Structures are given as structure tokens and as C-alpha cells.
Amino acid sequence: MTEEFENSGSSAASFDIKKFLFRALSYWKLFVLLLAIGVFFVYQKNIREEFSYRLGTKISIEDDSNPLFTSNASLTFNWGGVTAKVQTMIVTLKSRSHHEKVVDRLEFYKSYLKEGRFRKHDIYKAAPFRFYQDNSFGQLINKPIQIKFLDEETFELQVEFTGVTAAVQNYNTKEISHVDVPLGIFKQPFKLGEPINLPFLKGVVRLAEDRQASAGSVYFIQFNNFDGVVASYNSRLGVSNMKSSSILDITLVDKNKGKIVDYLNAVVDVLSEDELSRKNQYVTNAIQFIDDQIARVKVEMTDNVEELNDYRKENKIYQLDSDGSLLNEKLSKYEEEKEAINKQLDYYANLKNYLQTSNSFTDVPAPSIAGVTDPNILSNVSKINELSVQKSKLQYSVKNDASIFNDLNRQIEGLKNVLLENISSVTSVLRRELEGAYGNLNKLQLQFSKLPEDQQKLLTIQRQYTLSEKSFNVFLAKRGEAEIIKASNVSDILVVDRAKNTGATVLGRNLNVRYVFAFFAALLVPLIIAFILTFLDNNIHSPLDIEKLSTIPLLGVIGKNALDDNLVVHRKPKSAVAESFRAIRSNLQYYYKTKDFDGTKTLMITSSVSGEGKTFCSINMATVFALSGKKTILLGLDLRKPKIFGDFKIKNDLGVVNYLIGQSTLEEVVQKSGIEHLDLIVSGPIPPNPSELLIGENMKTLITELKKEYEYIVLDTPPVGLVADALELLDFVDASIYVVRQDYTKKGMLNFINEKYLSKQIKNLSFVYNGYDQKAKYGYGYGYGYGYGYGYGNYANGYHEDDKKKKGVFNKIKGFFNKNKRA
């Protein structure tokens, strides 16, 4: 039997799916309420939904070389270093500085709005006017400025200020400051084209091309924080590399399709311009160097021309003789040679110093500018510049891969060492050539000294002019060549598919799906509540729970008492509750008969704790015995918390306690209940030692005396879960009833009585299930196959004195389903 009880206890401990489902069904009103709230919320959200759109453009990263560059060109340039890598382009497209240029170009920090049903909509170019702001002054930010057209030429500007200062931003410097503004609503009329010169707004409003504004139409312009706009577009721009190819797919999400198109195209244009500028940086540096040299030589040449003309006028010598001319040609030749060698030596000296002191080699001028033709020098300068540009670009795209930079640094360091060795060897050769040039010049100087002094002076001035003129012409030629190459250079960015509004992708799921989510959300809340309450629930909710928790037999089921006292059998003898007590009486009488109990029968009624209906059952069990014509006495033995006197409206100043302490006789403590054949003895004053009184000899004498006069003795005892008084009375009773109340008694409370029953300490014990309500949230019907508690079936409708049901359509429908359920 112990094993059987353990099995039943383990099943009770498992989660009751059926109870969970019935509990969840009982929350249908909560589900309906939540569903109504959810549907209303979703409807309001759907009608306010503002859709976003996505458009895209495609570009290809090419490696375009200049077709005008050949091996015969006198200038050798590095065409932008390495070809721009795809990853570098992706990083550039997502960079803040790139988006700053785009937002500045399109002025997307300024929005044109129109009032809609729920919000102000960005109408972009659909606005019939344009506001041309003065960017050198601060403009009001983050607050809509109303433009209401009074007629075709006049409009009213209106702003509502909630404080005495407002934030303005200068879109040249991007600086935000605060200015004083009038508190409240500011209004002022202006004419189209009239300058607006306010502390918080400076500019002019003009109609857009081929547009007119109707009187009464209202629009808004709003300036936004520049950094906030840049961050917004940066976060909404998507860049993806299609299948790891050189093609980039650029997309943008926005609520205005026109803005998406313009922004995407501007993003690509700015990227292409910046890439071409970086690609031309090398030739740009060369042009700048050439310009500096041309300016210097031009000044020298001008001075030489003036000096030559002045000398000729003063000495009246306008040309040299044949010997002087020949000598001058030779001197000019060697001077040019010396000048070329010195120029190369200067370049090598500067290049050597640059290599030894600089960490970046992207600004090295083209060697050919200085007349350097050594192929090793040309190749190595180009390579080291190329690697330096690549390293510079990778610093923006590769963050945590040190191996790439280590490899580039090793290559650059190797090229630098090779270049330094090349410079050392070439410099030695040039110095020897320079010594030879000086030797030749010295020989000619001896011949030059033999000429007349005026000839010598003229020859010197003319030679200096000739040298300056030749240098000037050389630099001009090189500059022209550099300009042609720069003009013919193209960007590595090729637009494959320019952005165009040919059908933007609408972002946003099917709004009707939200109703499905609202339904499941409304359903989930009751389910969660039911699950938690069922999981944590430890109360007994049906007679079936008792069968799972204990092997003690269930004697009967008693419904709820609707009266204001416990005398339900006496006051409502034909009620369902009264019939339940009669069924229990029948079961007890059958039990007494099977046990061959003769004479007076004793019945003890107890429970786990107070409030389970122990006294209610005691009173009504005694009443049904009395109504059957049996002389019955109800004995109030709950000495600590007496109750039964209140229902019979008698005093509790004299009772069992007085008899047990020898203060009163039996005749003195027995009182009439007002019900035929039913007497009672109340507990009397609360004693200090109730347990000792109940186990004394006087208690035995009391039971013995009562058995002589009464056929049934009903004992109302204290709860066994709280005190042990009831256990002391087991020797005096033939049968015991243990009251369990629906939704009140805890499952764990039965452990104590189960243990006593299984250990044979308590015999002839039965449960009575009290307070049964078939409409309870947790109830799922209880079969009446046991032959008790039939007060809720069809039979009861004809014989019981329950309150009459209200007639109506709802009750008829309910009755129909109940009838089918019973069937």
C-alpha cells in the first residue's frame, strides 16, 4: 500500500495538462480583452505606417591606364599607385568624411515638408519653392519653419518657440550656437525674393523653375543637425561586393524615392572625383614643382633681358663677332651640361634626404623633371611610391592585420636601401662628369679672357640669358606634357548602373501579419498565466485530485453553501447540499452495518486546518441524523476555537469544559438545538490545557453517559494539522471524516493523515470533499459514479429548492449544451 501511495504522489507531482487547459479556457474574457486591445493598437499603427524604399546603383572598380602614356614620354608618372582595391572603396563609401561631402553637395540637411494626416512628410523637390540660405550665418535647426503663401508673391513665415533661446548651425563651419529668440509664436510676412534677415534664419525664398504657389498652401522647411544627417545616411547606406568581384552594389533606404536617387548618384560622383584626384596626385605634385621652377626661371630670365638690353644701349654693342659667337656657343653648351649635372645632383641629394628622414614616400617628384634618365632610379622611385600609396589606402580598410603592413614595410625598406645605393653610385659618376665639364669651361675661360672687356661682359650676360631661356622652355614643355596626361586621365570608378527610380523596393512586411501576431500575443498571455498558476498551484481543485493523492476512500462530495450560516440542512432540507449530506449519511449507515456496530454510533469530523468546513459538516451531519428520527447529540470538542454555538444562537459560557473539570453535570451542559431529536454540547470557556482534558477519565465518562441516551454522537474536533487533540479522541469513535475543501486545502496537507492511515494509527477514515463548485476555473467535471453528490444533475432540477434560474436566450443555449454534455 505504501508503494501505491508513492506512485499516486508522484503522479500528482507531475504537471496536470488537463487542469492547465481548463484553467486557460477560464481566462477567455482576458483573451478577448487583450485581443481587442491588440487589434486596436495594430490598426492604429498600420494607418500611421510610413513606408521606406530601397534603390541601388552598381559600380565597377577598374584599372584604367592612361592611353597617352608611352615609353617615349619625357615624363614618367605613377598613375595613382596601385589600383584602388575593392575593400578600400567599401571603406571609403562608409566613411563619415565621404558622406559629409555628399550631404554638403546636396544640402540634405535641409528638408521641405508638408503636413499629412499623422505627420509631416518630406516632399523634397515637390515643394514649389526653394530656400537659398546664407551659409555664413547660423540657421535654426531641429524645428520646422512654416511657410504659408498669402498670395502668389507673398508668404508668411511662422515659428513657435518654447524658450528664449534657440540652436542655430553655421553650415560652413558646422558650428552650433544659440541665439535669442522671441518666446511664443513668431510671425512675419515676406515677399518672394526678399532677403530674410532674422537672428535665427538668413536667406531668400524663390519659386522653383516653372512652379507656382497657390494662396493658402502651407509648407515647412526644417534644418537638421549636420552631423546627425550624415550619421543617418551613413547608417542606411549599404555596400556589398557581388560574389567577391570588382563590382560593388550600393543601396540606400529612405522614405523619399527622389532623395534616394540623388543621394546614390552623388555618392558615386564624389567617390569618382576623389578617386581621380588621388590618382592624379602624383602628376599634380609634378606640375606644382614645375610651376615653382618656371616662376623662378622667369624672374631670372627677365632680369637677364633687362641687363642685356641696358648694356647694349650703354656700350652700343649689339652683336658679337664670329669668334665671340663661336666661343659663346661652346661656353653655353658646357654651361648647360654643368647645369644639368648640378640639377641631377641636387635632385639626388634631396631624394636621399627624403628617403632617410620621411616615413611616407607618396610625395616624391617625378625624377624625369630633374633630367634623371637612369632606368633603375626611375623604376625604383615609381615602385616605392606605389607601395607607399597602397599602404596609405590599406590603413583605412585593414585594421587588425599586421602581417600585410609588415610585408609592405619590408618591401619599402628594401627599395629604399636599393635607391640609396643607386644614388651613391650615380652621384659618383655625375661628380666625375661635373669635373670634366668644369675642365672644359676652364679651357674656354682662357680664350674668353683674351676677348675685349666689353665683349666679355656682353658675352657673359647673353650666355646667362640663353641658359635661362632654355630652362624656361624645357619646363614649359614638361608642364604642357603633364597637363595633357592629367587631362586625359580617367577615374577607376566605372558606373555600371546609375541610380534611377524605375520601381523602388518597398520595405515593410505585410501589415496584416501584425493582426496574427496580436492574436497570438493575446492568446499567449492567458496561457502563460495559466501555466504559471498551474505549475505553482498546490491546492486541491477536484475530487479527482484526492484520488491521486491518497488511498483513503472518498465518502461524499458537498456543494457550496449559499446561506449566511451553517444550518443548510435545517433551513433548506430539499437543497442539493442537504441531499449531499443525506448521501453521506446513507454511506455511513451502510458502513456501520458492514462493521456490525450495534448501539450508539460515534462519528468524528476533523480536517487539516481551520476554514475547511469541519464545523459546517459536523452541524449538518448531526442534523441529517436527527431528521431521520435518530436521537443525536453534537459535541463541540474544538476547545481552542469554539464555533457551533453561534449558528444555533446560544451562549458558550457552559459546555464540555465545565463538565470535564467537574464544574457542571451532564444535564447542565446539554442544550436544545431547536431541531427535533438534536441536542448539543458546546465547548464552553477556553481552557488552558485542552489536550489534557480530552484524554482524562471524565472524557471517557462523558462518552459513556451519552451512549446511554443518544443513538448518534457527532464530535466536532480541532484540525489535526494544527493540534493533536483529534488524535486523542480516536478511541471513542467508530468512524472518522476528514474534510477537504475545494480550492483551499493544500495537497501537502494530506501527507500527515496519509501517513497515519497507512501506518494503521487511524482506522475507519474517509474523506468528504467540501465546497464543490462545478463552474470553478479549474474544474473539469466530476463523475457521480460513486452514488453521491447528485444534486447537480437533471434529477435535482425537479426536487431541489435551489434558486430559480433566470430565463433567457443565453440560459436556454447553456441548458442545451449542458443537456448534451450530460448525455
pLDDT in tens, 604-614: 998 888 888 88
The residue-averaged pLDDT of 8-17 equals 55
Take residue 622 and report the three cell numbers written for it: 448531526
pTM for this entry: 0.51
CB burial string 241-266: b at 16+ within 10 A, e below: eeeeebbbebbbbbebbebbbbbbbb
Name the residue with higher pLDDT: 365 or 663.
663
Look at residue 574 in the predicted model and tell me its pLDDT.
87
Name the residue with higher pLDDT: 591 or 229.
229
Look at residue 696 in the predicted model and tell me its pLDDT.
83
Name the residue with higher pLDDT: 598 or 579.
579
Among the residue ranges 238-252, 308-322, 348-362, 719-733, the one predicted with the least confidence is: 308-322
Contact between 61 and 493 (Cβ < 8 Å): yes
* Those residues with Cβ within 8 angstroms of residue 654's Cβ, 6 or more apart along the chain or in another chain: 664, 668, 669, 682, 684
Among the residue ranges 75-89, 119-133, 330-344, 792-806, the one predicted with the least confidence is: 792-806
Among the residue ranges 343-357, 569-583, 784-798, the one predicted with the least confidence is: 784-798
Look at residue 309 in the predicted model and tell me its pLDDT.
63
Contact between 648 and 680 (Cβ < 8 Å): yes
Name the residue with higher pLDDT: 262 or 346.
262
Helical (H) or strand (E) element with 279: helix 257-279
Among the residue ranges 153-162, 413-422, 477-486, 571-580, the one predicted with the least confidence is: 477-486
Spatial distance between the Cα atoms of 815 and 627, rounded to a whole number of angstroms: 34
Look at residue 463 in the predicted model and tell me its pLDDT.
62
CB burial string 754-788: b at 16+ within 10 A, e below: bebbbeeebebbbbbbbbbeeebbbbbebebebeb
Name the residue with higher pLDDT: 14 or 319.
14
pLDDT at 158 over 80: yes
pLDDT at 515 over 70: yes
Name the residue with higher pLDDT: 185 or 308.
185
The residue-averaged pLDDT of 304-325 equals 56
Q: Which amino acid would we find at residue 227?
A: D
Among the residue ranges 37-46, 189-198, 497-506, the one predicted with the least confidence is: 497-506
pLDDT at 735 over 80: yes
pLDDT bracket for residue 86 (50, 70, 90): confident
Q: Which domains does the chain possess? A: 2-49+511-536 (no CATH), 95-263 (no CATH), 281-488 (no CATH), 543-635+710-790 (3.40.50.300)
pLDDT at 142 over 70: yes
Helical (H) or strand (E) element with 113: strand 110-115
pLDDT at 68 over 50: no
Q: Which amino acid would we find at residue 217?
A: S
* Three-state helix/strand/coil letters over 238-253: EEEEHHHCCEEEEEEE
pLDDT bracket for residue 603 (50, 70, 90): very high
Percent of the chain past pLDDT 90, that is, above it, reads 25
The residue-averaged pLDDT of 16-42 equals 89
Q: Which amino acid would we find at residue 533?
A: L
- Torsion over CA of 373, 379, 385 and 390, rounded to 10 degrees? 160
Among the residue ranges 77-86, 397-406, 468-477, 737-746, the one predicted with the least confidence is: 77-86
Contact between 187 and 157 (Cβ < 8 Å): yes
| Chain CA centroid to CA 78, Å | 49
Take residue 248 and report the three cell numbers written for it: 560593388
pLDDT at 823 over 60: no
Spatial distance between the Cα atoms of 38 and 46, rounded to a whole number of angstroms: 12
Q: How many CA atoms lie within 13 A of 397 on its CB side?
A: 16
pLDDT bracket for residue 116 (50, 70, 90): confident
Look at residue 279 in the predicted model and tell me its pLDDT.
66
Take residue 577 and report the three cell numbers written for it: 447540499
Name the residue with higher pLDDT: 84 or 39.
39
Name the residue with higher pLDDT: 632 or 799.
632
Spatial distance between the Cα atoms of 70 and 285, rounded to a whole number of angstroms: 20
* Those residues with Cβ within 8 angstroms of residue 163's Cβ, 6 or more apart along the chain or in another chain: 181, 183
Look at residue 633 in the predicted model and tell me its pLDDT.
93
Percent of the chain past pLDDT 70, that is, above it, reads 74
pLDDT at 321 over 70: no
Look at residue 103 in the predicted model and tell me its pLDDT.
93
The per-residue pLDDT of the chain, averaged, comes to 78
The residue-averaged pLDDT of 307-316 equals 58
Look at residue 808 in the predicted model and tell me its pLDDT.
47
pLDDT tens profile 243-252: 667 788 888 9
The residue-averaged pLDDT of 465-473 equals 70
Look at residue 369 in the predicted model and tell me its pLDDT.
57
CA neighbor of 763 nearest in space, from 553, 573, 520: 553
pLDDT at 210 over 80: yes
Among the residue ranges 95-99, 311-315, 619-623, 632-636, the one predicted with the least confidence is: 311-315
pLDDT at 511 over 50: yes
Contact between 264 and 102 (Cβ < 8 Å): no
For the ranges 377-381, 687-691, 805-809, the one whose mean pLDDT is highest: 687-691
pLDDT bracket for residue 799 (50, 70, 90): very low
Look at residue 160 in the predicted model and tell me its pLDDT.
92
Spatial distance between the Cα atoms of 84 and 91, rounded to a whole number of angstroms: 11
Residue whose C-alpha cell is 567577391: 244
Look at residue 327 in the predicted model and tell me its pLDDT.
59
Q: Which amino acid would we find at residue 787?
A: G
**Cα distances (Å, whole numbers) of residue 63 to 66, 195, 560:** 10, 50, 92
Look at residue 84 in the predicted model and tell me its pLDDT.
42
pLDDT tens profile 489-498: 666 677 777 8
pLDDT bracket for residue 461 (50, 70, 90): low
